[in-house]
Structures are given as structure tokens and as C-alpha cells.
Amino acid sequence: MRILITGGAGFIGCNLAAHFTRLGHAVTIFDNFSRRGAEANLAWLQASAPAPAVIRGDVRDAAAIAAAARGQQAIFHLAGQVAVTTSVNDPRADFEANALGTFNTLEAARAAGTQPIFIYTSTNKVYGGMEAAQIVERDGRYTFADLPLGVPETWPLDFHSPYGCSKGAGDQYVRDYHRIYGLPTVVFRQSAIYGPRQFGVEDQGWLAYFAICAALGKPLTIYGDGRQVRDLLYVDDLARAFELAVQHIDRAAGQVYNLGGGPERSLSIWTETRPLLEALAGRPLSVAYGDWRPGDQRVYLSDIRKAKAALGWEPQVAPAEGLRRLWEWIQANRALFN
């Protein structure tokens, strides 16, 4: 199968490229290489055989993405702006990268001549602040009082922040291109994805950012009280979800799936993550605390039953094991973070 991955030099993109190349598919990555670590990820991909093809381009350029999409049999659309804080500071750039970029890529798929499978990486941020969900504190962590299995795909959409709006617009466009044009599209509303080749920063990729700071002895600030809870999905488990969606596109087309670790693979961001990192670092870790950031959810957990039932998919990697693998990658690649 000929597969195009937009944002293919990013964290998730390069892992998907490696996964599908190993399966024998002809992979092309399309990336503007603006994100930190993209060139290093490309070098890693090119060190393996066969290496994916590379197109340096931007999804904001309709002609460039249309040319790249021509003849492709599947398009995984990952390219875009990824941080809430960046979207607040520059909402126009966020809109152009995410909403317009997704529209351009959908139009490119429609004109590709192959009716390609189209998988879009959306976000749990499309559910907004979830003010209607009751939250309680138990055992040093926040949790949902009335959603023991997490947030289902039927939860009302409530785009919050420019980032939520731009990703949500793409989410809905992708859904509708199946209804209106018959394009076999799938939306993955992803929770916290983590793993090797993730160059986490303070406002995106929090677990990798914490691990990088702990490994390199850099200062770390926790915003809020550290009891906030997120479900975590290791990148290899996400890659299998993409693989299964392609295999089962007859039932996945037009569908939306929440993808995360679910309640069983969740951590409070510091009260439970701290001891795991301290065990890996072999020393106590100290942090500073800051005020809650606007719109920060006290808890988000994905209800992943729909993906399990439809795709036969289930996460395999527990957070402690996934964090260990991430830690070992950071230690083996310390030069990349200097």
C-alpha cells in the first residue's frame, strides 16, 4: 500500500512511518521540518532500510499537498500546530496549520484519484472543559464520579481554546467528507500519547517533558496541584490502532474513536508519576509549583470500548513499562537535548 504521512517527521509520524515500512508498505513522509527533533527523526528513519520517501512541504500549501497525495492509497494526517498556549498567542497561525491544513489535505485526498483511506489525529480537547462531568478526589488523584470507564465518543463537543476550535473543525470536516464525498475517513480523538522520539516541551508532550527534565537535571514546574489525571497511550499501541483501522476500513470508515490508555493506563501527573521517575533517576526530584493554567482539565480519561469492539484493538503497554522505554531512549540520545 502507498501511504502518505503528513507531519511524518514528528514524534507520532516517524513512529508510524517506521511501523508501516516494517510491514512492507511504501511510505512517504510530508513535513515542513519546523518542529524541534524533526531532522533527528528523519535521520533515524533514513538509517533503516528501506527508508521512506521524503517530501519537504507544508499542508498550508494546497498545491504542494495535492501533488504529494496523488496516487496514494492511504493518508495519515498528523501535521499541524499542537499546543494550546501557542494557539492562544497566535490563533491565526493555529487556524491556518490545523483547520486550513486539514481542509487542504482532505481536498488533496479527494483529488488523488485513488479514494485513499484518510485517518485524522484529533484530540480529546474537542470535548472542552467538560464542566458537566462530576469530578471527585480519591487516593491523591482526581477522577470522574460518573464516568468510571472514561469519556465516550457520544460526549457533547465543546471546542475550547483556539487549538480546540481548529482541531475540532478538522475533526468535523473529516467526518463529513465521508458522508458527503464517500471518502473512507476515520477520526482518532487521542489522549496523551508518549514514547521514544518525543521531544516533549512544557506545553505539549508532558510525560516526555518531565522525563527529559529529570534525566538532564533541568528545572521542572508543576501547574496546579499535581493530582490531575490523564490516560496514557504508548506510541506502539497507537500504531497498531492505525494498522487495524486500515485493515478494517469497511467498518471503520466514517467513524470516530477515542484512543487512549483508558482508566487502567492512567497516572496523576505528579503524585503518581514522580515515584516512577525517581526510581528511574535513582534520586529524589524537586519541582516548583505554579498556578493552574486556564482550561486545564483536572481529569481526562478515554472510554476506549468502541475501538476495542470495532477494531479488536486494546493497549498493551503499561505506563511504568512505557516510561522505562522512553527513559532509556532519552539516556541513549542525550546529545539530542543539548
**Res 295: pLDDT:** 67
Q: In the structure, what pLDDT confidence band is assigned to residue 56 with cuts at 50, 70 and 90? A: very high
**Res 296: pLDDT:** 77
Please, what are the domains in the chain?
Answer: 2-337 (3.40.50.720)
Cell readout for 214 is: 529529570
Which residue, among 285, 264, 278, has the nearest Cα to 323 in the 3D structure?
Answer: 278
Place of cell 493552574: 292
- The end-to-end CA distance of the chain, in Å, is 38
Report the relative pairing of strands 53-56 and 74-77 from DSSP bridges: unpaired
pLDDT, tens only, 276-301: 999 999 999 999 999 988 767 899 99
pLDDT, tens only, 76-106: 999 999 988 899 999 999 999 999 999 999 9
Assess contact for 326 and 200: CB atoms under 8 A.
no
Mean pLDDT along residues 228-251:
98
E-only strand ranges, the chain: 2-6, 26-31, 53-56, 74-77, 117-123, 135-138, 141-144, 185-190, 192-194, 221-223, 229-234, 255-259, 266-268, 288-290, 299-300
pLDDT, tens only, 170-229: 999 999 999 999 999 999 999 999 999 999 998 889 999 999 999 999 999 999 999 999
Instruction: Report the C-alpha gap between 257 and 248 in whole angstroms.
Output: 13
**Res 55: pLDDT:** 98
Spatial strand order in the sheet of 185-190: 53-56, 26-31, 2-6, 74-77, 117-123, 185-190, 255-259
66 has pLDDT over 90: yes
Catalytic: 163?
yes
Mean pLDDT along residues 290-317:
93
**Res 212: pLDDT:** 97
Of 127, 142, 163, 234, catalytic: 163
Instruction: Report the C-alpha gap between 276 and 121 in whole angstroms.
Output: 29
Q: In the structure, what pLDDT confidence band is assigned to residue 248 with cuts at 50, 70 and 90? A: very high
pTM: 0.96
Q: Return the H-helix or E-strand segment holding 88.
A: helix 84-89
Radius of gyration of the chain from Cα atoms? 19
